[in-house]
Amino acid sequence: MHNAAICAMAPLFFAFRRRNYAPLTARYIFDLQVASPQLIDHLSKSFSVQRTARPFSAIAVDQTIECTINRYGKGRGGISGHFSKQLIDRWCQAFSFRAILSSVIAEIVSLETGLNSLDTHIEYTPTRIVVDNKDLSLCITKLKSENLFSCEQNSLSKLFTGKIIHNDIVLNICNSYERGYELLKKYSVERLINKTVNVYDKIDFGKKCLYLKDTDRYSSPSLKLIKSPTHNQLEAYIRRLFVL
């Protein structure tokens, strides 16, 4: 599942011009091709980590690493700010003991109890249940009148406002995966396999992709967006009004 999820997400990073995630994901997929068979087999079957015994508490592998470092690695005694190899090695060797000690002390001084520990879902608290039920009722009431699963309208419209979304925007979003797949393929062949292009060169993502938020300022059919005034332009306009 891990491998399948990564491969499915990679084209979207290229389609929506994610300049950091796009090359990193492409490199990660490329490295998987030359990884050991044992690692590939493990990742093909593993997707999440179950850190506690509570139900529905599994999280992604990379998120587990990030959450663990955020909890025990930041602050006093953490790894943040340590750039020396000796300090990093020392921190890693003593990390598991400090992590266990921190949890035990928190339990002793009642910083973590049965109501606020990692094994407790915040959604179970009485106040949260009341708020969630109220929000759910409001959403259902509004969505019911929208007739989401009917074919009464030929055009896609925004919820609540009912504003019609231009077909160019809809098609641009629907075709984003195929567009991103071609960009991913081109990037991998040119920079990782044939190495005819420097891997650090700026990526050409092609035409600017359209979003639902562009509905109010989209000008068809030239695929141009009407630029909104910037903060500096608004300030200059206000100053001119005061001068006049």
Q: Summarize pLDDT for 133-158 with one digit per residue, the tens.
A: 999 998 888 788 777 777 677 777 77
Q: What is the mean pLDDT of residues 65-74?
A: 70
Amino acid letter, 176:
S
Give the H or E element holding residue 28.
helix 21-33
Sign of CA dihedral 47, 51, 56, 62: negative
Phi, psi of 227 (to 5 degrees): -70, 135
The SS3 call for residue 219 is: strand
Beta-carbon contacts of 88 under 8 Å, excluding residues fewer than 6 positions away, are 79, 82
pTM to 2 decimals? Answer: 0.59
For residue 102, which of 71, 126, 123, 125 has the smallest C-alpha distance? 71
CA dist 99 and 71 (Å) reads: 9
- Does the bond joining 11 to the residue before it have cis omega, within 30 degrees of 0? no
Q: How far apart are CA 165 and CA 157, in angstroms?
A: 5
pLDDT at 23: 92
What are the domain boundaries of the chain? Answer: 2-57+118-243
Q: What is the CA radius of gyration of the chain?
A: 25
Statement: residue 76 has pLDDT above 80: no
* φ, ψ for residue 19, nearest 5 deg: -70, -20
CB-CB contact of 166 with 218 (8 Å): yes
Please compute the mean of the pLDDT values over residues 162-173 and round it to a whole number. 86
Q: How many angstroms separate the first and last alpha carbons of the chain?
A: 65
CA separation for the pair 81, 88 (Å, rounded): 10
User: What band does 119 get if pLDDT is binned at 50, 70 and 90?
Assistant: low
pLDDT one-digit tens code per residue, 220-231 = 655 455 555 566
- Say what percent of the chain tops pLDDT 90: 20
Give yes or no for a contact between 179 and 15, defined as CB atoms under 8 angstroms apart.
yes
- Residue 160 has which token pair? 């609540």
SS (H, E, C) 211-229: CHHHHHHEECCCCEECCCC
Say how far apart CA 82 and CA 218 lie, in whole Å: 48
Burial level of 114, CB count in 10 A (0-12/13-18/19+)?
exposed
pLDDT score of 231: 60
Looking at the DSSP assignment, which residues form a beta bridge with residue 218?
225
